[in-house]
Amino acid sequence: MLRRERVLLMRFTADLPRNVFLTGKGGVGKTSVACALATLLADRGKRTLLSSTDPASNVGQVFGVEIGHRVVSIPSVPGLDAIEIDPQEAADRYRERTLAPVRDFLKPEDLAAATEQLSGSCTTEVASFNEFTELLAEPTRTAAYDHVIFDTAPTGHTIRLLELPGEWTGFLDEGLGDASCLGPMSGLDKARGTYAAAVEALASPERTRIILVARADPSSIEEAERALLELATVGVSATHLVVNGLLPDEETHDPLADAIRAREAHAVAQLPLALQRLTLDTLPLRATNMVGADALRRMFGPVDPPVAVAAPTARGATSGLAALVDELALGDKGLVMCMGKGGVGKTTVAAALAVALAERGKDVLLTTTDPAAHLDRTLGGDAAGIEVTSIDPDRATQDYRDRVMATKGRNLDGAGRAALEEDLKSPCTEEIAVFQAFSKAIAQADKRFVVMDTAPTGHTLLLMDATGSYHREVARGLGSAKFTTPLMRLQDPGYTRVVIVTTPETTPVMEAQALVDDLARADIAPWAWVVNQSLSLTGTSSPLLIQRAANEAGPVAQVARSASRLAQLAMQEVPPVGVELAGLSLTR
């Protein structure tokens, strides 16, 4: 029996083709929109498969079901199945499939070398991509479904995956590559037909709809525009834009709520021309988090009146970043890594820590591994005493190629240089280049403060994986000799302080705790937690914001139980920029 709908006119849900992609900057609500859309289709009687390609997927958390790397049914939504492509499991299967045919013919030391070669983040990414392309291009995998919804990874990662079919196919066609990329490339020749079919499906509007999801803030919208243009470079056209989480009008006039609404209205009114050409839908902010089938079924409907609740009050003395900065400032050097889910304010927190340390006379490098970060905008051009850099994958890759050509290629003849230059076009080169830039930034913390704004969680873990692979290779090569690898620096609490940034909501906190568990397996422990954008500290009189503030108590208490150091930051009427960032270190 089909459910009776309370659905507003959402143009992105109309006349859907079989495949639907939702992508955008981390933290904009892609997963919520994807889950709500999948629920809507299943309720309409359409057999639907929801697939997450995000390394930090939380689809299972949204539905309250353990999903993982296999298709499972969602009990609360008849007709809906889901799968989370787990990068590590995909890599394990890919590694075994690659090594099985040669295991009995290799010497132990050669087998160990081959296994290590298949342990990097490039292998993990390619393995995950194989799983994704099969879902998209292999009819037998999804024949039972009317629709396949893809909840993708944050935009930069998605673009990289979409670029891989062309890169790998061209690379294989030309017979390029040496031992440095033999591992990740092993067996890919058999998949060229699948890659070509995936690209064809993605580029066909009749078969696939690409939906960009954004929030009504400049960085999110800029990221959506960048995604639109980059998708076009690989022959894929996005057709719809969903601006999620707009604060609805209320009878009560509250300074914070009024400021948020004005900021959001301006952002939507000033959409870049490229985004204005897309079909636009907006979704209102809800008083409760989008967790559970009932909440998802209300996501595309009218806004329910907020439930009257007492305005929450902060218990005890709640501090900003002051205590953290004071403790850091006892020294003159060290690595401070801000990590967490996209959209929680890592860039703001990292910049605030850097500004506060610089104001205390410290030598500070502020850098980012996030391709979607906007440090210049956050600092507002006012970065006295702070060196600001970013690890740009394209620039790092080109620098690496130039360096290799100038060293290894120096004494080669024309044919040798041409062969080396072609080899450096391998997609694996980017992994090596970014890792070297990351390691260089880590090393600088031996003499100064390095505050690092990392990419959304999944990216960061892939980078950590590359660090671990390098550590194992060095340890095996040097034996008992003394050495220090990047991983050893990250594991040293006297050298590195990991700051976990989250917002006081159920899903971001659960994902942050999952990140802490993953770090623990690498013997890396968090130094502090920052709960950002807290409404319970604002004194808001908006009924909707009060209800959302009341929902913060549980997630904040959950963080407090495991955090040795905790800072809680209030939602700001005007996002801090430049020297104003230092104000976040004040007691609030």
Catalytic residue among 24, 26, 27, 340: 27
Asked if the model's pLDDT at residue 513 lies above 70, the reply is: yes
Give 255-314 pLDDT, tens digit per residue. 999 999 999 999 999 999 999 999 999 999 988 888 888 889 988 887 776 666 655 655
Q: Based on the fold, state whether residues 258 and 373 are members of the same structural domain.
A: no
Catalytic residue among 43, 54, 281, 465: 54
H and E: helices and strands count for the chain: 24, 15
Asked if the model's pLDDT at residue 79 lies above 50, the reply is: yes
Tell me the C-alpha distance between 155 and 159, whole Å.
6
Catalytic status, residue 381: no
CB atoms within 10 A of CB 222: 17
The percent of residues in the chain predicted with pLDDT above 90, rounded, is 27
Q: Based on the fold, state whether residues 431 and 368 are members of the same structural domain.
A: yes
pLDDT at 316: 40
Catalytic status, residue 27: yes
The more confident residue out of 523 and 534 is 534
What residues make up the domain containing 186? 11-298
What CATH number does the domain containing 139 carry? 3.40.50.300
Per the domain annotation, does 292 fall within a domain? Answer: yes
- For residue 250, name the pLDDT band (cuts at 50, 70, 90): confident
Q: Based on the fold, state whether residues 259 and 331 are members of the same structural domain.
A: no
Least confident span in 238-242, 248-252, 394-398: 394-398
Q: Based on the fold, state whether residues 276 and 343 are members of the same structural domain.
A: no
Tell me the C-alpha distance between 193 and 130, whole Å.
12
Catalytic residue among 29, 245, 343, 409: 29
Catalytic status, residue 152: no
Per the domain annotation, does 6 fall within a domain? Answer: no
pLDDT at 146: 94
Give 175-211 pLDDT, tens digit per residue. 444 434 444 454 454 466 676 777 788 888 899 999 9
Are the CB atoms for 428 and 118 separated by under 8 Å?
no
Per the domain annotation, does 137 fall within a domain? Answer: yes
Asked if the model's pLDDT at residue 480 lies above 70, the reply is: no
pLDDT at 164: 56
Catalytic residue among 507, 534, 538, 585: 507
pLDDT at 567: 93
The more confident residue out of 164 and 299 is 299
Q: Based on the fold, state whether residues 278 and 331 are members of the same structural domain.
A: no
pLDDT at 44: 92
Q: Tally the residues of the chain.
A: 588
Q: Indicate the pTM of the whole model.
A: 0.76
Catalytic status, residue 170: no
pLDDT at 45: 94
Q: Based on the fold, state whether residues 209 and 341 are members of the same structural domain.
A: no
Map residue 204 onto helix, strand or coil.
Answer: coil
Q: Based on the fold, state whether residues 243 and 366 are members of the same structural domain.
A: no
Domain count, the chain: 2
Binning the chain into helix, strand and coil, the percentages to the nearest 5 are: 50, 15, 35
Q: Based on the fold, state whether residues 355 and 268 are members of the same structural domain.
A: no
Q: What is the mean pLDDT of residues 461-476?
A: 60
Per the domain annotation, does 159 fall within a domain? Answer: yes
Q: Based on the fold, state whether residues 208 and 59 are members of the same structural domain.
A: yes
Q: Based on the fold, state whether residues 385 and 244 are members of the same structural domain.
A: no
Own/partner contacts of 431-434, CB < 8 Å, gap of 24 or more, are: 431/120, 431/121, 431/122, 431/466, 432/180, 432/400, 433/393, 433/396, 433/397, 433/399, 433/400, 433/401, 434/369, 434/391, 434/393, 434/396, 434/397, 434/463, 434/466
Catalytic residue among 24, 26, 30, 98: 30
72-73 and 80-84 beta bridge pairing: antiparallel
Least confident span in 233-237, 530-534, 541-545: 233-237
Per the domain annotation, does 461 fall within a domain? Answer: yes
Catalytic status, residue 30: yes
Positive/negative CA dihedral, 503, 153, 470, 364: negative
Asked if the model's pLDDT at residue 167 lies above 70, the reply is: no
Per the domain annotation, does 452 fall within a domain? Answer: yes
Catalytic residue among 23, 31, 52, 542: 31
Per the domain annotation, does 164 fall within a domain? Answer: yes
For 214, the enclosing helix (H) or strand (E) is strand 208-215
Q: What is the mean pLDDT of residues 339-366?
A: 88
Tell me the C-alpha distance between 53 and 91, whole Å.
14
Q: Based on the fold, state whether residues 241 and 343 are members of the same structural domain.
A: no
Q: Based on the fold, state whether residues 346 and 259 are members of the same structural domain.
A: no
pLDDT at 255: 92
Catalytic status, residue 361: no
Catalytic status, residue 29: yes
pLDDT at 170: 53
Asked if the model's pLDDT at residue 89 lies above 90, the reply is: no
Q: Look up tokens 């870049």; give the residue.
A: 272
Catalytic residue among 13, 32, 119, 397: 32
Cβ burial of 389 (10 Å; 0-12, 13-18, 19+) is: middle
Mean of all residue pLDDT scores within the chain? 79
Per the domain annotation, does 554 fall within a domain? Answer: yes
